Amino acid sequence: MEQTTEAGPPLVLVVDDDPCVRAVGADILADAGFTVLEACDATEALQILAANPEISVVFSDVEMPGALDGVALASRASELCPGIGIVLTSGGREIDRANIPRNGLFVRKPYSGAVLLRQIADAMRKLASGEPRALSA
């Protein structure tokens, strides 16, 4: 997957409270050539976003402990970084699509590496083209 630019490979923030699940997603993305940052919850993710405005995509679990879940994180990330791509994931919770930002895509757990990479690539393609973003199933 050729995703590099003069500034380096795209930066993706992976957010999941389960370290094993987070590591799987991060490894898939790193093996595909992305630079990956990791956060264990929405609070840490927002701190990382503030310190790294070059993040292209946030890939977050929906169900996380703490004050903000993944849907709230997606909303805050979209407000703070209007040009950022969002890919949410969940294995158990149904998501009301009306609550996900327009730039949000969704991948159901368990996901394959190919499906995750396709969603990340789609989020980035839409960013690059300036297309209006819509939620994917």
Tens digits of per-residue pLDDT, 41-77?
999 999 999 999 999 999 999 999 999 999 999 999 9
pLDDT band of 93, cuts 50, 70, 90 = confident
Mean pLDDT, residues 86-97? 86
pTM here is 0.87
CA distances from 94 to 53, 98, 104, 107 (A): 30, 12, 15, 12
- Domains of the chain (ranges; CATH) run 30-92+102-129 (3.40.50.2300)
Q: How many CB atoms lie within 10 A of CB 65?
A: 10
